[in-house]
Amino acid sequence: MDSQTPMSSSIQLAHGSGGLMTRELLDQIIFSTFKNPFLEQKHDGAIVPLKGPVVISTDSFVVSPIFFAGGNIGDLAINGTVNDVAMCGGVPEFISLGFIIEEGLDTSDFVKIVQTIKAAAEEAGVLIVTGDTKVVESGKGDKIFINTTGIGSPHPRAHISMDRIRPGDQLLVSGPIAAHGMAILSQREGLQFESEIRSDTTCLNHLVSDLLDEFGDQVHLLRDPTRGGISSVCSEIAQDSALGVLLRETALPLDPQVAAACEMLGLDPLYVANEGIFCAIVDAEAAPKILERMKSHPKGGRAALIGEIRSEYPGKVVMESAVGGSRIVTPLIGEQLPRIC
Amino acid sequence: METTIRIIIQGRVQGVGFRPFVYRKARALGIRGSVTNTGEGVLILATGPPNILDEFYTAVTRYPPPVAQVVRHSREEIAPEHPEGFSIVPTAAEGGLNLQLTPDFALCESCATELKEVGNHRKGYPFISCVACGPRWALTETFPFEREHTSMSAFTQCPACLAEYGDPEDRRFHSQTNSCPQCGIACWLADPKGNKIAQDAGSAFRELAIKLAEGSIIALKNTSGYLLCCDARQGPVVSRLRNRKQRPSKPFAVLYPSMEQLREDLEVSPAEAEALHSPERPIVLLSSAGYRGEASLEAIAPGLNQLGVMLPYTGVLAMLATAFPHPLVATSGNLHGSPICFSEAEAMEKLSGVADFFFGHNLAILHPQDDSVVRMSASPPGRIVLRRSRGMAPNYSKPVDSRPGAASMALGAHLKSSVACIPNDFLYVSQYLGNLDNFEVYQRFTQTVDSFVELFGQRPKTLLVDGHPSYLSHRYGRELSGKWEVTVREIQHHKAHFAAVLAEHGLFVQREPVLGVIWDGTGYGEDGQVWGGEFFRYQEGVIARTGQLDYFDWLAGDKMAREPRLSLLSLLGPGAEAPGSKFSEGERQLYAKLLHSNTLKTSSMGRVFDAVSSLLGYCDLNTFEGEAAMRLETACRDFSLEGASPFVHLNAEGNIPAKLLVQEVARAKKSGRPGGWIAGNFIFTLANLILEKAERESVRKVACSGGVFQNALLLDMLHRISPRHLEWYFHREFSPNDENVSFGQLMFHLNCT
Ligand SMILES: [Fe+3]
Ligand SMILES: [Mg+2]
Ligand SMILES: [Zn+2]
Ligand SMILES: [Zn+2]
């Protein structure tokens, strides 16, 4: 990085050619940002120290728009994968980072994304150890796609698995629901609400580690309700465990402006995506303490007990509604089609 | 010379006093032999001179007892037998059942008289019944209808009752529900904690009358489920019931003590009186114009010009009417969208926050049913069923040719759920079950499926479901098909509606084309859009879509059906004056953007009704399903055809120009036309569009289905403007709304490719 030629103002096809311009892009933006000993090995990959079993998870991020209130595709790509590793009971340590950039992306946008990635990785305490950058012709992508793979080791006290779920187990959620999906939707459609709705994207690994340190195998299952929202997570749990899930509508934490936005659009917040919360199914006796612990953590300040596992209706999710009575919550199928006359 | 014949009679022939009737006929004619209930129907072996046997056969098949219905009968000569006398043989238990089930029957005149008769030992016994009346389906565990197959089996007849049961000359000869105060059902009045404050019928009804007069709300266990009752004259009490039931403005029905009292307060047409008195004894919607009574109509049916009325149909209600001879609000005992309660425990749990006192009894209800609801259309004169339940379920009275579809079960729609099946030579359709979104309704729905399977001892080989992937009935059908390893067939919602009305009128078996006009709120279309304003053509097993309401944008999921103003916005555009005033600036911008990027389209006629109702200022937000359309209908009661002129005509494609139609309505409003006239002319326009379609399609037969045809004014209008050569077919047995979808699915499956 000695003889600096200034970067062009947008990403060109040649930046993905593997030639000089690629080198420039990597040196000036990526390596200089993510400096760490593993990257300095300058291998085609990274050699990282790990002992025993490995937790690994990968995810691709294609969100549009790439910038939104509360974050951008960059922190989403780190947090998403970090959280997936954490949901398996893993402690994420290393991340691989792959970009697919559509030619013409503003360089300044790319820099912004890379810097956000750096900040998110630092917050999560993970190192970016290897990566890849490709550029595709205009029209073959949508500004930028990011793939991340997270690697970590299992938390020593974690014993997380579907078959540990028992009737009576309590369902906790770590924070208010539906914020991310509504932030994206309002940004994408140019919808304006009285107050801005911000994505909840954040890393959850520290909170999860704290819980596992303290409560170990009393935590039976962890899931982050991303695409398909709470309803999809609960439906999966119900189907895979062959037990029922009871939700209490009045207990669901929901920001008033998110609730209002959902109401105006006719959307059910249970189906809206989240990026910074998780659901935990925990031992009934330990539940109050676990909830308390979550609430005392900065990432779980608005955690709530939202339901429990029931044996009466295997495979079904039933919600006690705020207006009385209860209803079945089905997993999302395609878009939310109207059913009522 | 004597011969022996074997007679089989099928139809509604059990639990209706058929065997005693046969017995008496046989004795009167000197015929010897026997009569028994079998899985195939009533089996008679009769020995006598041939000419007398002929007379006997005619008598038993042509002139059955009042509540019986003979659907099929046959006779054959068999080897002569030489029995002594004529006997009723206990039911022979055997394989499959080929019977109609028996619905609940209203209290008959004779029993109603005995209930009040001084000296009669059943005076004041609320569970009085005979072979011609009383609960049936509500108590049915298995078949055939014998006491031991019902929840009456918990009660053993006393010697006096047994004597009646065994006496061929008695009205209660072989009456399976026979009981009396000595041996029968106990009843009481309790507070919400379950403390009994009256332990017998006499004191319970005396107390009830006092509590009602004091303004209490009573949960009353009838023989088909719980009712919530209060004094209809006390507006604040009715409002309290509304608040507790969380039912802000949906109209309540009123139980009148007697026809005489009803007539003092309201005009009742002969057809309406007949419906009110029929063995089904439904709630009948009457025009409340010129109401002279004391019931607080503003609290009971706010802003509507109709009142749902019924007469006492059980001993319990007859006793109540005697003790408290005033109009009573009587509504299904449930909470907001939940199914009707039917057990003590359930009622005490669910209704303790609603009712001040509980009238209970110890007869178990197995098939809870709401009251059926009908209204009468003036022309063509006939019945529009709005809810098919007690007294009508679970039978379909016409024979169907079941061979091609034997062992099929149809799981219906979602919002007004019902289950239908053809396990044998008959077709059965469950009572209205309600909105499957409600978990308890869903459970009752799955129990209904189970109970049909159990009752007929067989699983269906084919399951029929609506095409909507998110209907819970669809999902349950898929689940069951995996579990039972049977096939599922998806049937488009509106084609099922059309098949239902075609079947009711036997139109599958003729060759002329039929125009189907299927207008409702929503249904999943074959192109993935939301259908609801469809023209079909049926001919020789094929249903084809030949026109529609032009597509417009469907906005905001289920919210659009709850907010008529959104339909208006979609149809007129967010920039127009009329929808604009109904939204905040922020909302308007938001929906304008949504409209811009929206891809989901609809042809729903229900939404056009919503838009017009909102435009004319009748309803912007529905507080109950169908409210906007109901208020619109209310507004145009005085509309006269003179000066009517259609707002629009069919376009070149033979479709209804939805947007233009609503624009024309808006223009009429702007020009200062009164709302009632515009509303009437809107309905007139729709009627006229149907005539135009019939002409373009060169058909003579027009069949209509879908929730829109609950509108009596539309039927009336069609009838009045129809050219002579057109033949009209409307639902008479089923409701035009989604309750008929299960039946229609079966009929489509049997008859269409
Ligand atoms: Fe329908
Ligand atoms: Mg993920
Ligand atoms: Zn009777
Ligand atoms: Zn008795």
What tens digit of pLDDT does each residue of B9-55 get? Answer: 988 888 888 988 999 999 999 999 999 988 788 999 999 999 999 99
Residues A34 and A80 in one domain: yes
CATH number at residue B456: 3.30.420.360
Residues A127 and A209 in one domain: no
* Total structural domains within chain B: 4
> Between chains, do A266 and B590 touch, taking CB under 8 Å as contact?
no
Sequence-distant (≥ 6) Cβ neighbours of residue B133 within 8 angstroms? B67, B105, B106, B107, B108, B111, B279
- The structure's pTM equals 0.91
Mean pLDDT of B464-470: 94
Residues B365 and B424 in one domain: no
Task: Give me the domain span that covers residue A34.
Answer: 13-154
B227-282 pLDDT per residue, tens: 999 999 999 999 999 999 888 889 999 999 999 999 999 999 999 999 999 989 99
Mean pLDDT of A135-161: 95
Portion of chain A with pLDDT greater than 90, in percent: 72
Domain membership of residue A316 (yes or no) is: yes
Residues A122 and A218 in one domain: no
Residues B349 and B428 in one domain: no
Please say which residue of A105, A120, A154 terminates a domain.
A154
Q: State the distance between the two ends of chain B, measured CA to CA, in whole angstroms.
A: 54
The mean pLDDT of chain B is 92
> How many Å lie between the alpha carbon of A69 and the closest alpha carbon of chain B?
18
Q: Which of A315, A320, A232, A341 is nearest to B476 (CA)?
A: A315
Mean pLDDT of A213-228: 94
Q: What is the DSSP string of B248-297?
A: SSPPPEEE-S-HHHHHHHS---HHHHHHHHSTT--EEEEE-TT--SSS-H
Q: Which helix (H) or strand (E) holds B472?
A: helix B472-484
Q: Is B37 a catalytic residue?
A: yes
Give the Cα separation of B580 and B586 in Å (integer): 11
Residues A290 and A259 in one domain: yes
> Between chains, do A337 and B470 touch, taking CB under 8 Å as contact?
yes
Domain membership of residue B172 (yes or no) is: no
DSSP reduced 3-state for A106:
strand
Mean pLDDT of B549-575: 93
Chain A interface, mutation test: which of B590, B600, B624, most A Cβ atoms within 10 Å?
B590
Nearest CB to B557; choose among A193, A267, A333: A267
> How many Å lie between the alpha carbon of B597 and the closest alpha carbon of chain A?
8
Residues A176 and A315 in one domain: yes
Residues A108 and A200 in one domain: no
Give the Cα separation of B84 and B586 in Å (integer): 89
| A-B Cβ pairs (cutoff 8 Å, strict) | 108
- pLDDT, residue B506, reads 92
Residues B338 and B419 in one domain: no
Residues A136 and A254 in one domain: no
Burial environment of residue B27 by CB neighbours within 10 A (0 to 12, 13 to 18, 19 or more): middle
Residues B458 and B368 in one domain: no
Q: How far is CA B101 from CA A214, B14, B37, B140, in A?
A: 62, 8, 13, 9
* Residue of chain A whose Cα is closest to the Cα of B350: A325
Domain membership of residue A143 (yes or no) is: yes
The DSSP code for B363 is: P
Chain A interface, mutation test: which of B332, B470, B705, most A Cβ atoms within 10 Å?
B470
Residues A190 and A150 in one domain: no
Give the Cα separation of B9 and B673 in Å (integer): 61
Which amino acid type is present at position B428? Y
Domain membership of residue B459 (yes or no) is: yes
Residues B357 and B225 in one domain: yes
Domain membership of residue B51 (yes or no) is: yes
B290-346 pLDDT per residue, tens: 899 999 999 999 988 899 999 999 999 999 999 999 999 999 998 878 889 999 999
B500-543 pLDDT per residue, tens: 999 999 999 899 999 999 999 999 999 999 999 999 999 999 99
Distance A68 CA to ligand 2 centre (A): 19
Residue B434 reports pLDDT greater than 60: yes
> How many Å lie between the alpha carbon of B472 and the closest alpha carbon of chain A?
8
Residues A237 and A299 in one domain: yes
CATH number at residue A28: 3.30.1330.10
Please say which residue of A154, A184, A216 terminates a domain.
A154
> Between chains, do B414 and A328 touch, taking CB under 8 Å as contact?
no
Number of H helices, E strands in chain A: 10, 13
Nearest CB to A266; choose among B556, B586, B597: B556
Number of H helices, E strands in chain B: 24, 28
The DSSP code for B364 is: P
CA A237 to chain centre: 18
Q: How far is CA A33 from CA A29, A114, B390, in A?
A: 6, 7, 75
- pLDDT, residue A3, reads 47
Domain membership of residue A211 (yes or no) is: yes
B144-203 pLDDT per residue, tens: 788 998 999 999 999 999 999 988 888 898 899 999 999 999 999 999 999 999 999 999
Domain membership of residue A279 (yes or no) is: yes
CB atoms within 10 A of CB A124: 25
Collect contacts of A108-114 with beta carbons under 8 A, ≥24 apart: A108/A9, A109/A66, A109/A67, A109/A143, A109/A144, A110/A11, A110/A29, A110/A144, A111/A29, A112/A67, A112/A72, A112/A74, A113/A66, A113/A72, A113/A73, A113/A74, A113/A144, A113/A146, A114/A29, A114/A30, A114/A33, A114/A34, A114/A74
> How many Å lie between the alpha carbon of B276 and the closest alpha carbon of chain A?
29
Give the Cα separation of B200 and B186 in Å (integer): 7
Residues B369 and B431 in one domain: no
Q: Are B465 and B490 in contact (CB under 8 A)?
A: yes
Please say which residue of B45, B65, B88 terminates a domain.
B88
Domain membership of residue B342 (yes or no) is: yes
Q: Are B488 and B494 in contact (CB under 8 A)?
A: no
- pLDDT top residue among A275 and A8: A275
Residues B327 and B192 in one domain: yes
* Residue of chain B whose Cα is closest to the Cα of A317: B439
> Between chains, do A340 and B336 touch, taking CB under 8 Å as contact?
no
Distance B132 CA to ligand 3 centre (A): 5
Nearest CB to B521; choose among A190, A326, A341: A341
Distance B321 CA to ligand 2 centre (A): 65
Residues B262 and B317 in one domain: yes
User: Which pLDDT band, with edges at 50, 70 and 90, does B101 fall under?
Assistant: confident
Residues of chain A with a CB closer than 8 angstroms to some CB in chain B? 189-194, 263-268, 313, 318, 323-328, 330, 333-341
Residues B607 and B681 in one domain: yes
Q: How far is CA A96 from CA A45, A102, A152, in A?
A: 9, 20, 12
* Total structural domains within chain A: 2
Nearest CB to A340; choose among B246, B475, B558: B558
Residue from B19, B136, B387, B444 carrying the catalytic annotation: B19
Nearest CB to B439; choose among A190, A266, A326: A326
Distance A284 CA to ligand 4 centre (A): 54
Residues A246 and A115 in one domain: no
The DSSP code for B463 is: E
B389: its two tokens: 């339940």
Distance B131 CA to ligand 3 centre (A): 6
Q: Are B17 and B131 in contact (CB under 8 A)?
A: yes
Domain membership of residue A101 (yes or no) is: yes
Residues B404 and B333 in one domain: no
Mean pLDDT of B443-462: 92
Residue from B32, B37, B242, B305 carrying the catalytic annotation: B37
Residues B354 and B405 in one domain: no
Task: Give me the domain span that covers residue B472.
Answer: 394-491
Domain membership of residue B533 (yes or no) is: no
State the maximum Cα–Cα separation within chain B, in Å, rounded to a whole number: 94
Q: Are B567 and B549 in contact (CB under 8 A)?
A: no
Domain membership of residue A8 (yes or no) is: no
> Between chains, do A326 and B440 touch, taking CB under 8 Å as contact?
yes
CATH number at residue A280: 3.90.650.10
Burial A187-221 (b: 16+ CB within 10 A, else e): beeebebeeebbbbbbbbbbbbbbbbeebeebbbb
A55-61 and A67-68 beta bridge pairing: unpaired
Please say which residue of A122, A154, A186 terminates a domain.
A154
Please say which residue of B61, B88, B115 terminates a domain.
B88
Domain membership of residue B141 (yes or no) is: no
> Between chains, do B415 and A192 touch, taking CB under 8 Å as contact?
no
A51-69 pLDDT per residue, tens: 889 999 999 999 989 999 9
Q: Which of B375, B460, B427 is nearest to B633 (CA)?
A: B375
Residues B12 and B62 in one domain: yes
Domain membership of residue B104 (yes or no) is: no
Prediction ipTM score: 0.86
Mean pLDDT of A257-272: 91
Domain membership of residue A31 (yes or no) is: yes
> Between chains, do A192 and B586 touch, taking CB under 8 Å as contact?
yes
- Phi/psi class of residue A89: alpha, beta or left (left: φ > 0; alpha: ψ in -120 to 50)? left
Residues A310 and A170 in one domain: yes
Mean pLDDT of B606-634: 92
> Between chains, do A341 and B626 touch, taking CB under 8 Å as contact?
yes
Q: Are A242 and A315 in contact (CB under 8 A)?
A: yes
Please say which residue of B69, B88, B107 terminates a domain.
B88
CATH number at residue B637: 3.30.420.40
Portion of chain A with pLDDT greater than 70, in percent: 96
Domain membership of residue A341 (yes or no) is: no
> Between chains, do B415 and A263 touch, taking CB under 8 Å as contact?
no
Residues A200 and A295 in one domain: yes
Domain membership of residue B307 (yes or no) is: yes
Residue B587 reports pLDDT greater than 90: no
